[in-house]
Chains A and B, each alone.
Chain A
Amino acid sequence: MAKTLTILWRSGSMMAMDANVASKLAAAARAKGYNVRMFGYGEGVTAVKKGQNPKRFPNVGNELEALGRDGVEQAICETCYAARGFERGEEIPTAKVGSLTNNLFKFVSESDRLVTIAR
């Protein structure tokens, strides 16, 4: 049975390249056959906003959506999402608006490794 990696990221999509590092790490792990789960917390929830259109940077929303279609389970913190004025339906279709208790804790308890990408 393949090992599972959970990636927790806490930086916003336009803050730095942290979310892109998280997505590239997830893509590499998937390519090697690992199960991958991702959880966005704090400013990290902005990375799943649908319709991002950066002019000079990689589109992390598109990267995450592609990962989701490749089997990477994704969830974000609902409280963090609502706190920033987002509503359900504004997220990419592969991301679940979830919670620490229902998603992150489950991800971590079922994973072999946890990587936190945060500042």
Chain B
Amino acid sequence: MKTAFIVIRSPQELDPTHLMHRVAARGEASVILFEDAVYNALRKEHAERLGEAAHEVLVAADDLQARGFSQEDLKVGRAVPYEDIVDCIMERTERTVTV
């Protein structure tokens, strides 16, 4: 089932990929990073793990910029506005799982 994983916690608190691998195959997994979870896409080792767990990585642009980073700093995925996140949740996936 196409799944949108919602992550809000820092990779220092939680590695979301353990659960993601158990719940959905990479080709059916999208992940949305809010708040301190954006660091998952900024640090190489975390970004590589995330890229192996999900085919689509969306980073909340507001939360990325609030921490002093931009699209150019991302090691995986893309920075998007909330409207694109809504599209992922409502149209491109069939359920959400908060990690």
Contacts and interface: CB of A to CB of B under 8 A. Distances in A.
Contact of A21 (B34, B81, B86, B90): B34
Interface in B1-17: 6, 8-9
A27 B95 CA distance: 20
A116 B96 contact: yes
B83 interface: yes
Interface stretch (A28-36, A45-53, A61-69): A28-36
A34 B85 contact: no
Contacts, number: 55
Contact of A32 (B6, B35, B86, B96): B86
A31 B83 contact: yes
A16 B95 contact: no
Contact of A113 (B8, B62, B82, B96): B96
Interface string B55-99: 000001011000000000000000001110111011000011010
A69 to B, nearest CB: 19
A113 B85 CA distance: 13
Interface residues of B, number: 19
B96 A24 contact: no
B98 A113 contact: no
A84 to B, nearest CB: 22
Given A17-B35, A115-B96, A29 B9 contact: no
B6 A117 contact: yes
Given A28-B85, A115-B6, 20 more contacts: A3-B90, A5-B86, A5-B89, A5-B90, A17-B35, A18-B8, A21-B8, A21-B34, A21-B60, A24-B82, A25-B85, A28-B82, A28-B86, A32-B86, A32-B87, A32-B90, A113-B96, A116-B96, A118-B98, A119-B8
Interface of B: 6, 8-9, 34-35, 60, 62-63, 81-83, 85-87, 89-90, 95-96, 98
Interface of A: 3, 5, 16-18, 21, 24-25, 27-29, 31-32, 34, 112-119
